[in-house]
Chain A
Amino acid sequence: MVTPIYTMGVDVGGSYVKAVLMSYDHDSGEHKLLDKQTEKIRKRNPKDVVVETVDAILLRNKLNFDNDIAYLASTGEGEMVEKKTGHFYSMTSHARGGIFFAPEAKTVVDMGALYVRAIKVDPRGKVIDYKMTGQCASGSGQFIENISRYLGLAIEEVGPISLKADNPEVPSGICAVLAETDVINLVSKGLSTPNIVKGINISIAQRVIKLLGSLRTESPIVLVGGMGMNEGMTQAIEELSVEKNKEDNKFISHPDSIYSGAIGAALWGGFRYYKLKEKQAAVVA
């Protein structure tokens, strides 16, 4: 197979399956995101969702899995992906994905459905250190989804609506159940939806800032995972960072941030593909 090769990454998360097709250029180190697809798992079998998603990408790009894909890498809960060539741990994948979006980043903040994880990385995307939020769901994207459902918003609307807030009210940041009760009270009080949503984003952003402080992170900081696409969250994090006299912190977000795990896995897959090739060549020699 000649360079560049095609690799695929599949990230099976708590709510969504995310899949990408990449061209991996071992020689130049210039890798490209060619295609991507997100599928909500809902009540389906995640295995079937993965097959559908991968097949859809292959079909769109007129590729044949057996002949054209050098490596299919899974991550997250993706160990059950039947066609995978190899599996990569999610933190490793998100760290690599973060570096793909922002090669200069020194910290990757993975904000997924279940938790927020701040990761210190080296320029290769290798993990140096990390910290995670506590077990409580009020630090997770799932919490935002629950609240958006309650407020009758599509998840994509949460970011833009948050930007319209003028006087946000912050609910409990300690417990998701308490926060949901707070939100019900805020709705009853007649608070506008933008101010409620911004308040929610701030409550999670407070946790992110605390996490960054405890990890003693360095800037630039790239925000990845599903919540990384929420521009309201990015704004809340930036504002809080300034409030904490950390105005030098530079935050980078990316519209494809939900794909960071899948991208990272696909890139590690390409890396491992060539490593194996080198080993095989050495054995033959």
Chain B
Amino acid sequence: MERINKLKGDYSKVSEKDMEKAIMVDEWVDLKKMMDDYGIFS
């Protein structure tokens, strides 16, 4: 249950690189641009 308590703090520590590592993409997808366009880290 400690996961719930830590979640808000951990959330800010997730990086674009973490996301790029874990998301499967088609060859044509520019994931970094997509995250920028949707403001995932803004």
Our verdict on whether A and B bind, yes or no, reads: no
Interface residues of B (CB under 8 A from A): none
Interface residues of A (CB under 8 A from B): none
